[in-house]
């Protein structure tokens, strides 16, 4: 697709009218009428408050909402926040509301934002989810400041989260990204990112927009692409992340397929990069950490254990093609054991995840089937984590996750051998 086809004629005309900008803030949306006005106002207030001398453009890249989301952004008075601020903007915040072109999905919405940033020759760009309830003007200082003032290229978010929240991130995505790519980016799929104009243009230039990246998995794609491209990476503490409740009909298995599928594809494609890396190193942090009150979380551990047991029993034939004999036997022992002793230890979980990555690479099962069969094992690990972390403070939680990541790092050499030889991890 040519550059002109990526942007609609109307968007191109508006971009030409604006000419040049220092900052682009992108909000991808699809039926986010309940929250998007708040996100747009927070963004405008942040831009006016923290970057009053910069030319800024607020872009809403919409996927054909039927609830009037684009109209709400268009109607939002981005100047109203001035009354709350000490400083007045010397330059107005421009608004650009456009429907993205191409394959429906968050990735295509981001592509449009990156193209607009490139056309405007922006120095910094930030993207935030449209369903955020906890977003504040400070988020934009934290996502854009490290780029404009410290010359970082990629700013990942850091959030305060309930110890039972973000289990896919904590148990799979963060440990794998840290162990394989060697950088401790705590929220690789956070959804709210800051980046330099150079990195936004780099993203736009990638040959990935006609693949699944256009639909889902854009977050992990952005993070790993920044790491592989040797861009300067940091993270910024944004506080609590509260967003609209997801669709209750959205199935965990579908979510796992999307997230792990996107991550495993990146791992497969970027082997020359990560195979040379040993250990991991922290990335610079920005932002002031503080305690936040978090909403209570309901967890039905019994149901998770039941799904784990059913999965180990019913998927035995499939797991035999994916997991090593010892790993499978350990799962079967755990499934047959009593509830009180139910604990899926870190070492076993590391072998399970690595074996799934290898099975995906060597196509031991159809990818969709393979990734869906991870669901019961993941729920087993989550049930185990809920038991383990019941009395943990926030610091204990981070320590335990750090231990898990170290276990991933220690087993990486064995994983690499197994990956190359098509075996399971010993």
The piece of 85-93, 132-140, 162-170, 206-214 that touches another protein (CB under 8 A) is 162-170
Quick one: residue 93, left, alpha or beta (phi over 0 = left, psi -120 to 50 = alpha)? beta
The piece of 29-37, 140-148, 167-175, 339-347 that touches another protein (CB under 8 A) is 167-175
- Candidates 167, 206, 270, 387; binder of another protein (CB under 8 A) is 167
The piece of 45-53, 174-182, 358-366, 411-419 that touches another protein (CB under 8 A) is 358-366
- Give the integer Cα–Cα distance in Å for 266 and 284: 24
Q: Yes or no: say if 351 and 331 are a contact pair by the CB < 8 Å rule.
A: no
User: Closer CB to another protein, residue 366 or residue 395?
Assistant: 366
User: Closer CB to another protein, residue 167 or residue 270?
Assistant: 167
Q: Which two tokens stand for residue 425?
A: 């991890």
Residue 168 near another protein by CB under 8 A: yes
- Candidates 85, 255, 394, 414; binder of another protein (CB under 8 A) is 255
Q: Yes or no: say if 338 and 413 are a contact pair by the CB < 8 Å rule.
A: no
- Candidates 248, 272, 325, 338; binder of another protein (CB under 8 A) is 248
User: Closer CB to another protein, residue 165 or residue 398?
Assistant: 165
CB of 315 to another protein, least distance (A): 7
Residue 100 near another protein by CB under 8 A: no
Interface with another protein: number of residues (CB under 8 A): 42
User: Closer CB to another protein, residue 87 or residue 369?
Assistant: 369
The piece of 14-22, 87-95, 339-347, 362-370 that touches another protein (CB under 8 A) is 362-370
The piece of 7-15, 158-166, 285-293, 334-342 that touches another protein (CB under 8 A) is 158-166
- Give the integer Cα–Cα distance in Å for 344 and 350: 10
**Helices of type H across 129-173:** 137-150, 167-168
- Candidates 106, 111, 183, 372; binder of another protein (CB under 8 A) is 372
CB of 19 to another protein, least distance (A): 38
Q: Yes or no: say if 132 and 204 are a contact pair by the CB < 8 Å rule.
A: no
Q: Coil, strand, or helix at residue 370? A: helix
Q: Is 265 exposed, middle or buried (0-12, 13-18, 19+ CB in 10 A)?
A: buried
- Give the integer Cα–Cα distance in Å for 383 and 165: 12
Radius of gyration of the chain (CA): 22
Residue 87 near another protein by CB under 8 A: no
CA geometry: angle 146, 62, 231, nearest 5 deg:
25
User: Closer CB to another protein, residue 46 or residue 107?
Assistant: 107
User: Closer CB to another protein, residue 196 or residue 307?
Assistant: 307
User: Closer CB to another protein, residue 122 or residue 189?
Assistant: 189
Residue 261 near another protein by CB under 8 A: no
Q: Which two tokens stand for residue 39?
A: 């996100």
CA geometry: angle 416, 266, 180, nearest 5 deg:
40
Q: Is 252 exposed, middle or buried (0-12, 13-18, 19+ CB in 10 A)?
A: middle
- Give the integer Cα–Cα distance in Å for 123 and 127: 14
The piece of 64-72, 210-218, 225-233, 294-302 that touches another protein (CB under 8 A) is 294-302
């Amino acid at each position: 697709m040519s550059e002109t086809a990526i942007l609609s004629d109307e968007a191109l005309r508006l971009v030409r009218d604006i000419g040049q900008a220092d900052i682009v803030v992108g909000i991808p949306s699809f039926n986010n009428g309940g929250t998007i006005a708040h996100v747009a106002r927070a963004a405008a207030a942040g831009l006016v408050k923290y970057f009053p001398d910069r030319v800024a453009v607020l872009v809403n890249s919409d996927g054909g909402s039927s609830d009037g989301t684009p109209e709400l952004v268009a109607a939002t008075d981005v100047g109203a926040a001035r009354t709350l601020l000490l400083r007045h903007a010397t330059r107005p915040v421009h608004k650009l509301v456009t429907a993205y072109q191409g394959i429906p999905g968050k990735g295509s919405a981001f592509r449009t934002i990156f193209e607009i940033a490139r056309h405007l020759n922006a120095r910094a760009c930030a993207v935030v989810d449209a369903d955020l309830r906890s977003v504040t003007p400070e988020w934009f200082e934290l996502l854009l400041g490290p780029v404009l003032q410290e010359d970082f290229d990629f700013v990942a978010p850091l959030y305060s989260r309930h110890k039972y929240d973000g289990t896919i991130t904590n148990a799979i995505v963060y440990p794998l990204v840290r162990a394989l790519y060697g950088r401790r980016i705590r929220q690789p799929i956070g959804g709210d990112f800051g980046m330099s104009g150079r990195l936004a243009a780099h993203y736009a230039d990638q040959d990935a927009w006609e693949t699944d990246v256009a639909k889902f998995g854009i977050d992990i794609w952005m993070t790993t692409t920044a790491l592989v491209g040797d861009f300067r990476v940091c993270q910024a503490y944004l506080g609590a992340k509260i967003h609209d409740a997801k669709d209750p009909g959205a199935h965990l298995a579908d979510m796992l397929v999307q997230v792990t599928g996107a991550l495993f594809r990146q791992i497969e494609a970027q082997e020359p990069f990560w195979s040379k890396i040993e250990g991991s190193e922290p990335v610079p942090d920005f932002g002031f950490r503080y305690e936040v009150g978090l909403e209570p979380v309901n967890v039905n551990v019994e149901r998770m254990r039941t799904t784990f047991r059913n999965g180990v029993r019913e998927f035995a034939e499939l797991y035999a093609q994916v997991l090593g004999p010892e790993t499978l036997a350990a799962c079967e022992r755990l499934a047959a054991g009593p509830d009180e002793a139910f604990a899926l230890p870190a070492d076993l979980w590391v072998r399970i995840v690595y074996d799934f990555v290898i099975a995906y690479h060597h196509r031991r099962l159809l990818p969709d089937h393979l990734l869906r069969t991870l669901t019961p094992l993941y729920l087993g690990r989550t049930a185990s984590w809920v038991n383990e972390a019941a009395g943990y403070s926030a610091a204990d939680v981070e320590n335990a996750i750090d231990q898990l990541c170290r276990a991933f790092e220690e087993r990486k050499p064995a994983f690499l051998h197994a990956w190359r030889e098509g075996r399971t991890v010993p």
